[in-house]
Structure 1
Amino acid sequence: MKPIAIRLAAPILLAGMLSACGGPAATDNPASTADREGPVELVFYSMSKDLEASFNDRYGDAIRKKFPNYTIKYIQRGTGTDLQDLLNAGQRIDIHWDSIGSFPNSNIVYGLSYDMTDLIKKHNVDLSRFEPSLIDAMKQLGDGKIYGLPVYNERMALFYNKDLFDKLGVPYPKDGMTWDELGDLAKKLSVEKDGVAYTGFSPSINHLFLTNPYSLPLLDKDTQKATINSDKWKQVIEAQLIRPASSPVYAKAMAAYNGKIPDLQQFAKDQTLAMFISSPVLPSVMKKELSQFNWDIVSYPEMSDLRGIGPQSYPGYFAITKMARNKDAAMEVLKYLTSDEYQLEYSKKGIMTSLKSDSVQKALGSESSFKGKNYGAFFYNKFPAMANKSVLESQVAVLGTYTKNMNKVAAGTMDLNTALRTAEEETNKLVDDFKKK
Structure 2
Amino acid sequence: MKQRNQWAVPITLLTAFTLIAGGCSTAAPGQGNTGEGKAAEAKKNSEPAELVFYSTSRDSEENFNERFGNAIRQKFPHYTIKYIQRVPNSTDLQQLLTSGAQIDIQWDSIASFTGSVLDSGTAFDMKDLIKQHNIDLSRFEPSIISALEKMSGGGLYGLPLYNDRMALYYNKDIFDKFGVPYPKDGMTWDEVIELSNQITQEDAGVIYTGLAASINHVFLANPFSLPLVDSATNKATINNDTWKKIVDTMLVRPAASQAYKKKIEQLKGKLPDSNTFVKEKTLAMYTASPLLPVVFSQDMASFNWDVVTFPAFKELPGVGAQAYPGIISVTKMSKNKDAAMEVIKFLTSDEYQTEASKKGNMTVLKNEAIQKTLGQDTPYKDRNFNAFFSKFPAMAEKTVSESKAAVLGKYTKDVVKVINGEMDINTMLRTAEEESNKALQSAAAK
Q: Same fold (TM over 0.5)?
A: yes
Partner of 1:75: 84
* Structure-2 residue corresponding to 1:254: 264
Structure 2 match to 1:388:
397
Aligned to 2:103: 93
Deviates most, 407-416 or 183-192: 407-416
Q: Which moved more, 1:337-346 or 1:85-94?
A: 85-94
8 A contact 2:164–2:323 mirrored in 1: yes
Q: How does 1:180-259 map to 2 (within 5 A)?
A: 180-259=190-269
Q: Which has the larger radius of gyration?
A: 2
SS at match of 1:313: coil
In structure 2, distance between residues paired with 1:335 and 1:306: 35
CA distance in 1, matches of 2:329, 2:231: 24
The structure 2 residue matched to 1:416, chosen from 397, 401, 425, is 425
Report the residue type matching 2:84 in the other structure.
I
CA contact (8 A) 1:261 1:410 kept: no
Q: SS of the residue aligned with 2:410?
A: helix
* Cα distance in 1, alignment partners of residues 408 and 331 from structure 2: 27
Aligned to 1:357: 367
SS at 1:98 equivalent: strand
Specify every segment of 5 or more residues in structure 2 that has no aligned partner in the other structure, as ranges. 1-43
Contact 1:259 1:411 (8 Å CA) reproduced? no
Aligned to 2:354: 344
SS at match of 2:95: helix
The equivalent position to 2:411 in structure 1, one of 380, 402, 407, is 402
Instruction: Show CA shifts across 1:132-170 (max 9, x none).
Output: 011111101011010101011110011111001101110
Describe the SS at the equivalent of 1:268.
Answer: helix
Q: Is the contact made by 2:162 and 2:363 (CA closer than 8 Å) also made in structure 1? A: yes
TM-score, normalized by length of structure 2? 0.89
* Percent of paired sites with the same residue: 57
Aligned to 1:435: 444
Structure 2: how far apart are the matches of 1:266 and 1:404? 20
**TM-score normalised by structure 1 residue count:** 0.90
- More deviation, 84-93/51-60: 84-93
**Where does 1:129-140 land on structure 2 (aligned, <5 Å)?**
129-140=139-150
Distance in 2 (alpha carbons) for counterparts of 1:295 and 1:109: 41
| Structure 2 residue 91 is matched with structure 1 residue 59 | no
The 2-side partners of 1:242 and 1:109 are apart by: 34
| Structure-2 change in CA distance of 1:126 and 1:36 (3 Å) | closer
Aligned residue among 33, 38, 55 for 1:46: 55
CA 1:53–1:197 in structure 2 vs 1: closer, same or farther (change >3 Å)? same
Provide the C-alpha distance between the structure 2 equivalents of 1:94 and 1:42, rounded to a whole number of angstroms: 6
Question: For residues 151-170 of structure 1, what are the structure 2 equivalents within 5 Å?
Answer: 151-170=161-180
CA distance in 2, matches of 1:191, 1:108: 46
Conserved 8 A contact 1:187-1:200 = yes
Report the alpha carbon displacement of residue 37 of structure 1 after superposing the two structures with TM: 5.6
Give the aligned CA root-mean-square deviation in angstroms: 1.3
Unaligned 5+ segments in structure 1 are: 1-34
Partner Cα separation in structure 1 for residue 339 and residue 273 of structure 2: 43
The answer (yes or no) to whether the contact 1:36–1:326 under 8 Å persists in 2 is: no
CA contact (8 A) 2:46 2:78 kept: no
* Alpha-carbon offset, residue 36 of structure 1: 6.0
Q: How many residues align?
A: 403
For the 8 Å contact 2:47–2:78, the answer to whether it is kept is: no
**Matched position secondary structure for 2:235:** coil
1:162-216 residue CA offsets vs partner (Å, 9 max, x unmatched): 0011011100000000000011111001112112111101111100000000000
Partner Cα separation in structure 2 for residue 68 and residue 388 of structure 1: 38
